[in-house]
């Protein structure tokens, strides 16, 4: 029984690995890329505008990804945030909001890309003819994971909890003094996040957003 559970857990980890790592790394690269467009080259100068995962790895974020993948529940993790210096922006408040939007937007685009890839695989290789092929099934599961994980990362980061991207987007619409006080809660952000997670509030918010986003995308692609 233990061997069976271990095999299933490792398979779940393998299925989620590429979609999650792509989502996490490209999320950070997008922040750095938009920051560069807005005048800040800090991320570029520190070698963070790369798809090489090594400069982006955060040990704790990687460990959380492994644990959530094996648990088979909501899969998430994080990379080291790209360094951004707002003093280099032409309009600090506006450009910080643009940089913050870039990460979740990238995850939503990746979710769509994985959905289109899933559609293309099934279109070219019909499921009825290839369902017994283990590589085929692994590819389908990875694409499905890519849709769910990247919608999850996108919606999670849009939550208005400092230091998540949603807090910086919300700060753009607040008066300057109120925005500064709101963002100062960043030091409590991880504690707030854990409270939302363990009380089930996070799951109750994110679960429907992820589920209905995936259903809407797959319906548009012709999956019923």
* Cβ atoms of residues 160 and 170 within 8 Å: yes
**How far, in Å, CA of 88 to CA of 90, rounded?**
7
**How far, in Å, CA of 223 to CA of 217, rounded?**
9
Question: Is it true that the peptide bond before 163 is cis, omega within 30 degrees of 0?
Answer: yes
Give Cα separations from 194 to 39, 119, 198, 200, 202 (angstroms).
Answer: 35, 36, 6, 10, 9
Q: Which band of pLDDT confidence, cut at 50, 70 and 90, is reported for residue 2?
A: very low
Between 110 and 5, residue with greater pLDDT: 110
Domain boundaries, the chain: 2-220
pTM as predicted: 0.90
Q: What is the pLDDT of residues 56-115, one digit of tens each?
A: 888 887 777 767 666 655 666 678 889 999 999 999 989 999 999 999 999 999 999 999
**How far, in Å, CA of 110 to CA of 147, rounded?**
7
Inform me whether the pLDDT recorded for 184 exceeds 50.
yes
């Amino acid at each position: 029984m233990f061997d069976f559970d271990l095999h299933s857990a490792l398979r779940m980890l393998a299925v989620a690995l590429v979609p999650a790592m792509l989502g996490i790394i490209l999320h950070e690269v997008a922040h750095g890329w938009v920051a560069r467009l807005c005048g800040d080259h800090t991320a570029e100068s520190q070698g963070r505008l790369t798809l090489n995962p090594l400069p982006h790895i955060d040990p704790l974020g990687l460990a959380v990804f492994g644990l959530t993948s094996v648990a088979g529940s909501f899969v998430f993790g994080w990379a080291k945030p790209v360094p951004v210096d707002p003093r280099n922006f032409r309009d600090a408040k506006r450009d910080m909001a643009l940089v913050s939007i870039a990460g979740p937007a990238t995850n939503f685009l990746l979710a769509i890309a994985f959905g289109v890839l899933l559609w293309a695989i099934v279109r070219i290789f019909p499921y009825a003819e290839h369902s017994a092929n283990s590589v085929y099934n692994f590819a389908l599961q990875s694409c499905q994971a890519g849709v769910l994980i990247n919608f999850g990362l996108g919606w999670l980061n849009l939550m208005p909890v400092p230091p998540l991207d949603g807090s910086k987007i919300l700060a753009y619409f607040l008066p300057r003094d109120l925005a500064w006080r709101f963002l100062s809660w960043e030091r409590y952000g991880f504690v707030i996040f854990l409270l939302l997670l363990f009380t089930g509030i996070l799951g109750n918010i994110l679960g429907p957003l992820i589920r209905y986003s995936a259903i809407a995308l797959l319906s548009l692609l012709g999956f019923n």
